[in-house]
Amino acid sequence: MDEPQLTTESWPQSYDGQAQERMGFFTDTTVCIGCKACEVACKEWNLLPDDGFIFTANSYDNTGALGSETWRHVAFIEQDVPLFEGEEDNPMRWLMSSDVCKHCTSAACLNVCPTGALFRTEFGTVVVQDDVCNGCGMCVPACPFGVIARRERDHDGRAWKCTLCYDRAKDGLTPACASACPTESIQYGPLDELRERAAKLLETVKADGFAGARLYGESPDDGVGGFGAFFLLLDEPEVYGLPPDPVDPTHRLGEMWRSAGVAGAVLVAGVAAALVGRRR
């Protein structure tokens, strides 16, 4: 096979020639209608428990956020701004976006996992092996998006998140959420192809009057090396509850250890000097 692009720390080299094309999601929020079919399909296929049926009184959003029991979350954002520039007589629009795990190129959750429960699949995606996870929770604060979470009900304690339907991908099937999306807001396929498609779509969307449109997570030069699940947004990432400049915190571990080592050496030298001076 041709040399894949958008490589990660453990893909494709760890698969010794058996790596598949890197697969991912492209979510086009401009055509999301907020139907939540993706949420339902995800729960049904992955046998995820309910969210407690809690009325949040927060718009029409009943799930609130991604978590151990919600691997797809559709955000509803009501804005007092016109849908298109120059239509100030209609100052209101809804922004909707189906959020999911980003399957980062540089995945901090995977990097800090002490048991190997998190691994990089042959498709370049990041998956939690629930039968290996010991519930230590180290992956939870490592994720710059707050995606991964421990399941608290029934004293489970293990970490859970989107698997990008790894079980379906192995059989050549489209993930449940993308299959259920009636507007094709969620698109699944080879990541290189999705990025090319998204770049062309962005030009069209801007030409149609959405001046604030932007791609989020498509660049391999960002703090996580690019997303395996990226988005076309109509406003700044913060509006959707997404970090504007996500960074893999494990990138600086080497620097941190070196600094700690230097500080320790200085401390030891200072103590030694003090002891020598005291003996004199």
Q: Who's near 6: CB < 8 A, 6+ residues apart? A: 22, 105, 124, 191, 192, 220, 226
| Matching residue, tokens 């029991």 | 69
pLDDT at 134: 95
Tell me how far apart the alpha carbons of residues 24 and 124 are, in angstroms, rounded to a whole number: 8
pLDDT greater than 50 at residue 272: yes
Q: What is the average pLDDT across 251-268? A: 58
Q: Who's near 247: CB < 8 A, 6+ residues apart? A: 144, 223, 224
pLDDT digit string, tens, across residues 56-102: 777 678 788 899 999 999 999 988 887 776 667 777 888 999 999 99
Domain ranges of the chain: 13-247, 252-280
Return phi, psi of residue 9, to 5°. Answer: -65, -30
pLDDT digit string, tens, across residues 216-249: 999 998 999 999 999 999 999 999 999 999 999 8
Ramachandran sector of residue 154 (left: φ over 0; alpha: ψ -120 to 50; beta: rest):
left
Confidence of residue 197 (pLDDT cuts 50, 70, 90): very high
Tell me how far apart the alpha carbons of residues 139 and 114 are, in angstroms, rounded to a whole number: 9
Q: What is the average pLDDT across 180-204? A: 96
Q: Pairing mode, if any, of strands 23-28 and 186-190?
A: antiparallel
Q: Which two tokens stand for residue 280?
A: 């004199």
Ramachandran sector of residue 189 (left: φ over 0; alpha: ψ -120 to 50; beta: rest):
left
Q: Please tell us whether the domain made up of 13-247 is placed in CATH 3.40.710.10.
A: no
Q: Who's near 203: CB < 8 A, 6+ residues apart? A: none
Lowest mean pLDDT across 22-31, 149-158, 170-179: 149-158
pLDDT greater than 80 at residue 183: yes
Burial of 273 (0-12, 13-18, 19+ CB in 10 A): exposed
Tell me how far apart the alpha carbons of residues 146 and 231 are, in angstroms, rounded to a whole number: 17
pLDDT above 90 coverage of the chain, percent: 65
Lowest mean pLDDT across 74-83, 88-97, 123-132, 266-275: 266-275
Tell me how far apart the alpha carbons of residues 40 and 104 are, in angstroms, rounded to a whole number: 24
> What is the model's pTM?
0.83
Lowest mean pLDDT across 77-81, 97-101, 192-196, 251-255: 251-255
pLDDT greater than 60 at residue 258: no
pLDDT at 262: 55
